[in-house]
Amino acid sequence: DGGITQSPKYLFRKEGQNVTLSCEQNLNHDAMYWYRQDPGQGLRLIYYSQIVNDFQKGDIAEGYSVSREKKESFPLTVTSAQKNPTAFYLCASRISLGNEQFFGPGTRLTVL
């Protein structure tokens, strides 16, 4: 079954700790994206990667970091510099010449 997996579904961390969210896809898509969703708001782009070993900041990259060492994987690290890290995080991927993005199930991060 092809798709995008995000783990874990729920994640709790203490304030001041860095945390890494996993995103894996077996769709053979080149582009991958990270969004966050807050209540009453749309999806806001954090980082994206069009190709392996390359990534760009989205609209709200401050306090986050990413890597793209493999085509299938695009982990997101939420650092202690992110002021409001509690949110629902969504990973997506897209085939090179397509417009549609396919989303994973999301990770709910709660910082205590």
Partner 1 sequence: DQQVKQNSPSLSVQEGRISILNCDYTNSMFDYFLWYKKYPAEGPTFLISISSIKDKNEDGRFTVFLNKSAKHLSLHIVPSQPGDSAVYFCAANSGGTSYGKLTFGQGTILTVHP
Q: Where do contacts with partner 1 occur on this chain (CB under 8 A)?
A: 4, 6, 31, 33, 35, 40-45, 48, 50, 58, 88, 90, 92, 94, 99-106, 108
Identify which of residues 16 and 40 has a Cβ nearer to partner 1 in the complex.
Answer: 40
> Which has the closest alpha carbon to 77: 9, 14, 5, 17?
17
Helix (H, G, I), strand (E, B) or coil at 80: coil
Q: How far is the CB of 24 from partner 1 (least distance, A)?
A: 14
Identify which of residues 15 and 59 has a Cβ nearer to partner 1 in the complex.
Answer: 59
Six token digits for residue 16: 């001041």
The length of the chain is: 112
Identify which of residues 41 and 84 has a Cβ nearer to partner 1 in the complex.
Answer: 41
